[in-house]
Chains A and B, each alone.
Chain A
Amino acid sequence: GAGVSQSPSNKVTEKGKDVELRCDPISGHTALYWYRQSLGQGLEFLIYFQGNSAPDKSGLPSDRFSAERTGGSVSTLTIQRTQQEDSAVYLCASSPPPTGNTIYFGEGSWLTVV
């Protein structure tokens, strides 16, 4: 596809369950970001991948959150033992080289923890 693709678009899960969110960046984009958008909180940086370099995980809020990027393309954000405060929209974005140019967002995965 032409844009950043995310799945699922909506996910309702029970507290304590694990969830996986997937992101397929724009072809040729070497940089990939995950952000979290909570009501009234703006966009919170979670993690950044660039090619084969070690990711910047400084924004992950707890050790329940992890992300990987396989083959420099698709990324999966995993939240273990979900809590109600994890409810948010999880946005993926990608960016072409050189590093730090305009980033392009997907439509997000809306996670609701009940």
Chain B
Amino acid sequence: QVQLVQSGAEVKKPGASVKVSCKASGYTFTRYDINWVRQATGQGLEWMGWMNPYSGNTGYAQKFQGRVTMTRSTSMSTAYMELSSLRSEDTAVYYCARGEASPDCSGGSCYFQDSWGQGTLVTVSS
């Protein structure tokens, strides 16, 4: 079965960077995108971007452009999300999720996330 297992909780100081990993199993890693989504305590889901593990191509939400980098290791079936210049507002649970779109879809994008990691709490505090 599809599994996405993320790295453990992190505590960082303002201005630092954090790198979260997401190890995929149960499917061919390079066939599906990896999305990153974050959720501050008591708040909703916020999409950060996507990465195609086959090509390495990425697309980031405008809010995170210049601060986020999504990479992968195909040999380890692992995706990474690095967020820099951390501030207290970045304190949140970060999720990776497998993204896909049906090849039969027509009339618009049918992109969605079908499996999620367990989440990684990143706390930014001085």
- Chains A and B belong together in one complex: no
B interface residues (Cβ-Cβ under 8 A, vs A): none
A interface residues (Cβ-Cβ under 8 A, vs B): none
